[in-house]
Chains A and B, each alone.
With several copies, the nearest count.
Chain A
Amino acid sequence: MTTETKNPKSIIESLLFVAEKPISSKEIADATGVMVGEIQRHLKEIEEDFRERGIRLIRKGEYFSFVTAPENAKEVSLLLNEELRHDLSTAALETLAIIAYKQPLTRSEIEEIRGVNSDSIVRNLLIRGLIAEVGRKETVGKPIMYGTTMEFVQFFGLDKEENLPKLSELSLFEENTESQ
């Protein structure tokens, strides 16, 4: 691929815009011939460039995606005619928190923590796309391991999952969180 007048950053933006699902810098490299290291540098810049815009670059693990700015959710949901308010039960949020902070983990590991059967809750979170199968555990029966998804990052309006507060920090603020 000759890049005489090519602008790799612009190309990466086009690819992110047009991709049907989150893409990795490896996939961008395959489509452009640009080195992964350079792509990562551009991705960082793109993230910066779009920080104040209506389109944002978000990341989950190795994967990147353009999404709408979370603070515009109300207007966007109005245009799309979609319900914004979540209907996750306390039990579902609890399970989601366990998965977010302990991923990857199996269903029986979730149940070990919650002390109750969590079959239908896990199923519900899977259907909603907030969690997904991320592998198999190398133990008897090779049980499925679960982790959070890009939808999870979007659902919480984050740039990246790492921006969730640490579990240890959360337990310090007893009352504060309630008043939010």
Chain B
Amino acid sequence: MYSVRDEQFEGPLDLLLSLIEKEKLDITQISLAKITGAYLEKIGEMTGESSEIADFLLIAAKLLYIKSKELIPGVETAEEEEEIADLEERLREYQAYKKAALHFDGMLSTLNRSFTKRGKPEVVTTFSPPKDLDSAGLFAIFSEVMNKAAEEIPEQTEIKTEKKVTLEERRTEILTHIKNSKKTSFRSILASSRTKSDVIVTFLAILEMIKQREIKVEQDANFADFTVSGLR
């Protein structure tokens, strides 16, 4: 059942959970740190709409925090700790519902289902029109219903027109940026980002590149801009 869905994850929680279950791990901070790499890799492969990927990126940021804590102890803040605890709790809850869904599927596969009576109404139908309604009123109701129905459709097509941004694309962009100017700042890299998810992708790309030792990041003072330079 899980193998079928491997290619298509329903969301970041679904992806996280499947990675944890694949490694036969419990839902803990340690497990989350362990699967961070695999998670980022999956995001790197994604080519969906940026609004959808943004959901995945928010979770990625949390994973990176956990990972960084493992590497550099003592950076925890109470607020972030709470967020991690919250993520674990959400994963556990989600896991419970996934199990319930699996059980539902099992119940339904027995094909035991009840049917209601199909017979025509036994009553002699008596024409009983609604009170206080004329043809104009009826048409007004019709127009309203059709408008409501029409409203629900365009939403989905709208999202699809958004620009797609993948981690890999952004990585290439940053590399060119550095090649051209040898050294650059974090701010100037971000300058081209238009949306919040763009910023997150860029940031993740930088983190990933640091990990791969493709770039080096330096900071002169707390809260100051970062200098980004190439290592290769």
Contacts and interface: CB of A to CB of B under 8 A. Distances in A.
Interface of A: 14, 17-21, 56, 58, 65-71, 73-74, 76-77, 80, 84-88, 90-94, 96-98, 100-101, 113-116, 119-120, 123, 126-130, 149, 151-158, 163, 165, 167-171, 173-174, 176-180
Interface in B106-163: 106-123, 125-131, 133-135, 138-139, 141-147, 149-150, 152-153, 155-156
B222 to A, nearest CB: 33
A176 B120 contact: no
Given A94-B141, A94-B145, A97-B97, A115 B152 contact: yes
Given A94-B145, A177-B103, A180-B109, A114 B10 contact: yes
A90 B96 contact: no
What are the nearest 10 A-B pairs in CB distance? A116-B11, A180-B106, A176-B150, A67-B114, A157-B112, A97-B100, A70-B112, A97-B142, A173-B146, A115-B13
Contacts of B144: 94
Contacts of A91: 10
B220 interface: no
B185 interface: no
B128 A129 contact: yes
Contacts of B55: 115-116
B131 to A, nearest CB: 6
Given A113-B94, A129-B128, A98 B145 contact: yes
Instruction: Tell me what chain A mostly uses at the interface: helix, strand, loop, or mixed.
Output: helix
Nearest to B98: A94
B153 A176 contact: yes
B111 A85 contact: yes
Majority secondary structure, B binding face: helix
Interface of B: 1, 5, 10-14, 52, 55, 59, 90, 93-123, 125-131, 133-135, 138-139, 141-147, 149-150, 152-153, 155-156
A56 B114 contact: yes
Contacts of A67: 114-116, 122
Given A67-B116, A73-B112, A93 B133 contact: yes
A87 B97 CA distance: 19
26 contacts: A17-B117, A20-B120, A67-B115, A70-B112, A70-B113, A73-B115, A77-B123, A86-B108, A90-B1, A94-B145, A96-B138, A98-B97, A114-B14, A116-B11, A123-B152, A126-B125, A127-B125, A128-B128, A129-B126, A154-B115, A155-B127, A167-B96, A173-B146, A173-B150, A176-B149, A177-B106
A115 B97 contact: no
Given A70-B113, A171-B96, 8 more contacts: A19-B119, A66-B117, A73-B111, A90-B1, A113-B94, A120-B156, A129-B126, A167-B100
A169 B144 CA distance: 12
A71 B96 contact: no
B113 A155 contact: yes
B128 A178 contact: no
B114 A73 contact: yes
